[in-house]
A and B are shown apart, each in its own frame.
Chain A
Amino acid sequence: MARVVVDVMLKPEILDPQGKAIAGALPRLGFEGVTSVRQGKRFELEVEGELTPERLAAVEEAARTLLSNPVIEDYVVHADSPLEAGA
């Protein structure tokens, strides 16, 4: 088993109403000094066997086509376990 994490964030220029709502709530709870909040999504994918470059490429493809919408979101894929050398 290998684990890959995909982080998806709204692009900086896209309004994030969820983040704004949270930013508005923080000072009401006494958390001062936060000037901005952006809320994203984290996906943790367990994949079969060793994390080969092919499997990582497939996760990249899933991140690009399903997990994020490139019109409004950016994504970053991180291997949570080291890539098998030479696999």
Chain B
Amino acid sequence: MRIGVVTFPGSLDDGDARRAVRLAGGEPVALWHADADLHGVDAVVLPGGFSYGDYLRCGAIARFAPVMGSVVEAAGKGLPVLGICNGFQILCEAHLLPGALIRNDVRRFVCKDQRLRVESTSTVWTADYAEGQEITIPLKNGEGGFVASERVLDELEGEGRVVARYLEGNPNGSYRDIAGIASADGRIVGLMPHPEHAVEELTGPGTDGAPFFTSVLKALVSA
């Protein structure tokens, strides 16, 4: 299974995302922001970083990259897409997910190993977790506060689309401690912390992030 990882100018975690795909047993495919061709990949990861310098707003300029036109179109036809950190911000700016990410309420960039509870395993990217499983993966952001209207928040909760919630303290002021959300069909997921940095004992706090990548591979094989 071929998983595309987009590199925007300013992406930082594209290499780690490709490595996570490889360790999970998939074939990582490097995609380029200015190339609208998705090269036949079976899913796409939008990695963390500071696309286009995060000028204007996080993810606002990346949304208009040629590759995003193709991602939005393919996502509409069911292509699984995972946006991590800056990728989550891009998914919101592209209207593939509701809400927006604003500057952390603590007014600082936060970098720590973050406890999370996986709230939904009915997404393409989280099926390999157990419902309610508590995990630790790195978090590093300055604009990670998830905001949305009460109506949207209620809808996300009611439809089981809150994918993960912060435990042991909310690091950035996200409404209702939300760390990640999914599209209605569970194929598009945005997550502020970084599962791709927790796929090997040597280089992360553990391997709690790996199921994000094994989940999508299993979903693609059984599709």
Contact = CB atoms under 8 A, between A and B. Distances in A.
| Most chain B C-beta atoms within 10 Å of own C-beta, residue among A10, A15, A20 | A15
A85 interface: no
B100 A71 contact: yes
Contacts of B148: 71
A17 B92 contact: no
Given A14-B102, A15-B102, A69 B60 contact: yes
A67 B60 CA distance: 8
A72 interface: yes
A21 interface: yes
Contacts of A10: 102
Nearest to B58: A69
A17 B105 contact: yes
Interface in A12-64: 14-15, 17-18, 20-21
Closest 8 CB pairs of A and B: A71-B100, A17-B103, A17-B107, A72-B100, A21-B107, A69-B100, A15-B105, A69-B57
Interface of B: 56-57, 60-61, 64, 92-93, 98-100, 102-107, 145, 147-149, 173
